[in-house]
Amino acid sequence: MKEVFIVLVTAVSLLLGACGKPASIESVESLVANPERLKELRAQCKADRAKVGDAQCNAVAEATRQRFMRATPSTYANDPVRPPSPPAEAPSATPPAAKD
Between the alpha carbon of residue 77 and those of residues 70, 72, 74, 80, 82, the distances in Å are 14, 10, 5, 9, 12
| Domain count within the chain | 1
Confidence (pLDDT) at 82: 74
Confidence (pLDDT) at 46: 95
Is 34 part of any domain? yes
Is 1 part of any domain? no
Q: pLDDT tens across 33-50, in order? A: 999 999 999 999 999 999
Is 33 part of any domain? yes
Is 83 part of any domain? no
Is 17 part of any domain? no
DSSP calls for 4-30: HHHHHHHHHHHHHHHH-PPPPPPPHHH
Q: Are 45 and 37 in contact (CB under 8 A)?
A: no
Is 52 part of any domain? yes
Is 95 part of any domain? no
Confidence (pLDDT) at 21: 43
Is 12 part of any domain? no
* Mean pLDDT, the chain, whole residue set: 79
Q: Which domain holds residue 39?
A: 25-71
Confidence (pLDDT) at 20: 46
Of 2-6, 17-21, 83-87, 92-96, which range is least confident? 17-21
